[in-house]
Structure 1
Amino acid sequence: MALSHDQVHPQPGAAPQGALTVLGLESSCDDTAAAVLRRHGDGRIEILAEAVVGQNSAHAPFGGVVPEIAARAHAERMDGLAAGVLKEAGLTPFDLDGVAATAGPGLIGGVMAALMTAKGISLGADLPLLAVNHLEGHALSPRLTQSLAFPYLLLLVSGGHTQLVIVEGVGRMTRLGSTLDDAAGEAFDKTAKVMGLGFPGGPAVERYAQDAEAPDRFPLPLMLARDTSCNFSFAGLKTAARRHWDGLDAPDDRDRADLAASMQAAIARHLAQRAGRAMEIFKTRFETLDAPLPLVAAGGVASNTAVRAALEAEAQRHGFALIAPPLKYCTDNAAMIALAGVERLALGLTNGLDAPARPRWPLDQDAAAQAPASGSGRKGPKA
């Protein structure tokens, strides 16, 4: 029989009365992360310790994330990272109220590293396990640093995901639109790879775009021009950018800067246009909410300044206020996983030790089953 907290660790360090303290673990892609978060009785969020270890140098020679390399690195680092943040917070596992881990979606070898570590801690310290949807972590991430009431409109835009979602509460999300092919972050990364800008591609494109002399030099198409939904498409943009690049005789840094700026502007324009449609839908569904209404931008691409500026302008046109997490919480991190875990724990939404690791896990499972977003890529249908 597992020992209780009091039996094992009666020393000071326990959370204040009414508070919940959770260890969060994240390893869905190429960042290994751990964090200890406390939600106080008054709802205030305190991040007691956090750490993120990236893998850019390991993947840079390949121009993208190699799943096998990522999984091995996560497996080597995760337990030590968890122990490190607990030590920094002055806690042991027996001081926690729960342990949360990303259980999907993501690279399955990586997801397993965080989830299996969390299961071990859960079993050893007799703690509730919170198997967290990585996308829900992003969806809740603005609540790490500010008070944000439900409902709100979310644009989740990252290397692997681009979707518009109404967030009505923990586990209560409705998808309005998603990408039919590539995610916005993938379009950034593949364009950077074509131009030899290095990895990760998104920040590299943004850096080069700042030096553009003719940011409108390369015409790029407006994707889904006749489509009236809230869905996205970036594959055509990526292909058009490559054709422009291949058509240059001896491209130099000026060409790189101008094409980077053109591509960045096209992605930002497409994101803002579709978000504008979703804002109108949101307004009709929640007519009693006071203006300005909340538009949350989360995910790694939300840290791009051009994307933020386009969304800010579009939000103002529709009577919304753009809300985005601090830059360090836009990219993958464990604090958002711990927060999702705390909110689930407070609602009694815990998981058993048989919780599976999932390569795919839609936020709105009903929409994914009944109206899957699908398109066609170079290798066939994509959904």
Structure 2
Amino acid sequence: MPPRLPLPLLRLPPTYTLRRPLPPQRRLLTVLAIETSCDDTSIALLTSPTPHTATLLAHQTVTSPNRIYGGIHPLVSTVSHATHLAPLLAAVIAQLGHKKPDFVAVTRGPGMPTALSIGLDTAKGLAVAWGVPLVGVNHMLAHTLTPRLVVALNAAAVERAAAERGEGAGAGAGAGDVAPESAEESTATTESTQVVSTPSSPAPAPAPESPIAASTSTSTSTSTSTLEPILEITTPLKKNQIIQQPTPTEAPQFPFLTLLVSGGHTQVVHSRSLTSHNVLVDTIDIALGDMLDKCARRLVPANVLATHGNSVAYGAALEDFCFPAREGSECRYGYRYTLPGGKARAAEDKAEAEEYGWELSAPLSKTGPAMRRLEYSFSGLGSSVERCLKRRKKELGGVEIGEGERRALGRKVMVLAFEHVAARLVLGLEAMGEGERRGTCIADIPHQQRLPTHQDRSPPMKYCTDNAAMIAWAGLELYRAGWQTGLSALPLKRWSMDDDVYIEGEEDRAEHGVGGVLGAQQWIKRNVEKEEES
């Protein structure tokens, strides 16, 4: 006869009663989220009393040190996930005490299968141990929903601030949010848990001799105790010419358009609903971030790259190098952008050609059918840079080009690349119906220009990189819509958001015309209307 468990372990914690729970739309939901799709190990604890407000209780990310390999090394990233995920989770779970989240959200794809498996298997274990649902999130869907997350965070912050000032009786009531008492320590209360992590000092990572040795990482953490700006606008114009954009107060409503730019994707996505999307524009070769990273490794001096630590975000180093801040000025970039097609731009291009002897053009910009194709192409622009460097080295008698020319060439590449991005974004808007043209732009772009007659929303950059906060929010939206994931779910290396793209091996779902976000197996649909009625 097996031994009996101690009696206290058979009892429910005192905070839980046998009362019938409220439906997901009308009660405080807490979600623990895990993100391990690439080289970032990230966890988040998010609470949301309504579909329009949310509070980030804990958020921490550890990035694997891949700089020595010149890019993301799959084995190094896997070792980093295995090393750091459990300690990060232990710290958050310890603060939860006897409480447990309502469900666990985790990135299921797309991404590196081994990296995804670590996060997905851990999430499955937590879901089984706690007896709560699992929600497997599409990584690109989470990026798409990030503007809605930031608006929800801002809304909750405004409610807390009003409550602290005594304005509006009951502001934020029922949210269960507790403002952090100090940014130096973690706090816990009976009603809800507020975890505030302080940023860790970057740990110097010695150059590893093998991928296994590269497990030393730096960690960063964020807290949303203060109001987050929705728009972080940098303008190349002078101070008296700066175009001020009003801060949006409402989350983008379906349908809307999203520009997704990263090292692996460059897409314009038309989102009809939470689970229905159409990729209007996609790259036919490499992503914008991939091209910029390759150019950065050739153009940015080694001493500038060293200032970015172990990060492999070479595009950011290229941006810092090509668009330096003016000394003593608050303006981030000491550069004036000239629109293409005019005399000023023609004179600028001519001056560069006379000084350096190179001429570059934007991808797919030559007169003809290619000008209107809904496609991105960046490999040709990167190859042009390589050819310029080889030719100039030969012309200079084997000497590499100077820093001034490196900066000018890098600046030209970035300007042409982002003009290509903007041109296809406009074509994507034109491809949509008149009543569907609501713009949401997510991109790491140095010069953001507002599109006329459209609302442009660019979240803070820390929420545009890979992070578990966006996974938590996407999981919340899916869970509130009645979706959860079965425990037999497997990681997906490729998982397009496009309704007309089917996952390899999912022939049965393709036969029924189920693709995109819902094209993966193991989706479970709850009856949300019945939950609300009960």
> What TM-score range do you get, normalising by the shorter chain?
0.7 to 0.9
CA separation in 2, counterparts of 1:38 and 1:126?
18
Contact 2:104 2:132 in 1 (8 A): yes
Q: Which amino acid aligns with 2:495?
A: W
Match of 1:271 in 2: 421
Residue 379 of structure 1 aligns with which residue? none
In the alignment, is residue 50 of structure 1 matched against residue 59 of structure 2?
yes
Residue 7 of structure 1 and its aligned partner are, at CA, apart by 4.6
Deviations 1:226-268 (Å, cap 9, x if unpaired)? 3223210111011111111222332222122111101110111
SS in 1 for 2:56: strand
State the match for 1:219 in structure 2: 359
Considering only CA atoms, is the larger Rg found in Structure 1 or Structure 2? 2
- Go from structure 1 to structure 2 and tell me whether the alpha carbon gap of 1:93 and 1:205 turns closer, same or farther (over 3 Å shift): farther
CA contact (8 A) 1:35 1:82 kept: no
Q: Residue 196 of structure 1: CA displacement?
A: 4.8
- 1:34-66 residue CA offsets vs partner (Å, 9 max, x unmatched): 0011121353121111011122xx211121111
Larger helix fraction of residues: 1
1:109-151 per-position Cα deviation (integer Å, ceiling 9, x unaligned): 1111211111110111111011111001101011111122111
Quick one: which of 424, 446, 450 aligns to 1:305? 446
Q: Equivalent residue for 2:190? A: none
SS in 2 for 1:305: coil
Cα 1:209–1:368 shift into 2, 3 Å: farther
The match for 2:381 is 237
In the aligned structure 2, how far is the partner of 1:213 from the partner of 1:269? 16
Distance 1:185 1:11, change over 3 A: same
Q: Compared with structure 1, are the counterparts of its residues 7 and 99 closer, same or farther at alpha carbon in structure 2 (3 Å cutoff)?
A: farther
Deviations 1:201-229 (A, max 9, x none): 11011011114999853532321233223
What is the RMSD computed on CA atoms of the aligned residues? 2.6
Structure-2 residue corresponding to 1:38: 47
C-alpha contact (below 8 Å) 1:219/1:262 kept by paired residues: no
State which of 57, 63, 67 in structure 1 corresponds to 2:74: 67
Contact 1:28 1:110 in 2 (8 A): yes
Are residues 6 and 246 of structure 1, via their aligned partners in 2, closer, same or farther at CA, if it must alter by over 3 Å? Answer: farther
- Paired with 2:335 and 2:460, the residues of 1 have a C-alpha distance of 30
Percent identical pairs in the alignment equals: 32
Instruction: Describe the SS at the equivalent of 1:29.
Output: coil
Conservation of the 8 A alpha-carbon contact between 1:101 and 1:131: yes
Q: Is 1:359 aligned to 2:489, yes or no? A: no
Alignment partners' CA distance in 1, 2:360 and 2:10 = 63
Distance 1:35 1:259, change over 3 A: same
Q: Deviations over 1:329-367 (max 9, x none)?
A: 011110000011111111121111111101111011414
- CA distance in 2 between counterparts of 1:18 and 1:29 reads 33
Letter in 2 for 1:209: C
- Given candidates 430, 434, 446, the residue that maps to 1:280 is 430
TM-score, L = length of structure 1: 0.83
Secondary structure at 1:40's aligned position in 2? Answer: strand
Bigger Cα displacement from structure 2, 251-260 vs 215-224: 215-224
In the TM superposition, what are the counterparts of 1:112-191 in structure 2 within 5 Å? 112-146=117-151, 147-191=251-295
CA 1:101/1:246 → structure 2, altered by over 3 Å: closer, same or farther?
same
CA distances 1:133-182 after superposition (whole Å, capped 9, x unpaired)? 10011010111111221111011111101111111222111111200010
Q: Distance in 2 between matches of 1:116 and 1:155?
A: 31
Distance 1:6 1:101, change over 3 A: farther
Cα distance in 2, alignment partners of residues 42 and 132 from structure 1: 18
Contact preservation (8 Å) 1:94, 1:125: no
Q: Distance in 1 between matches of 2:51 and 2:469?
A: 19
Unaligned 5+ runs, structure 2 = 1-8, 152-250, 306-311, 325-333, 337-347, 353-357, 394-399, 504-509, 511-534
Structure 2: how far apart are the matches of 1:340 and 1:192?
A: 33
Provide the C-alpha distance between the structure 1 equivalents of 2:37 and 2:441, rounded to a whole number of angstroms. 20
- CA 1:92–1:237: 2 relative to 1, 3 Å: farther
**1:92 positional shift:** 4.8
Partner residue of 1:105? 110
In structure 1, runs of 5+ residues without a counterpart are 371-383
For 1:268, give the aligned amino acid: F
* Partner Cα distance (2:283, 2:446) in 1: 21
- Aligned-partner SS, 1:159: coil
Distance 1:196 1:209, change over 3 A: closer
Partners in 2 of 1:237 and 1:139 — Cα distance?
Answer: 27
Query: Equivalent residue for 2:14?
Result: 10
Counterpart AA for 1:33: S
2:476 pairs with 1:332: no
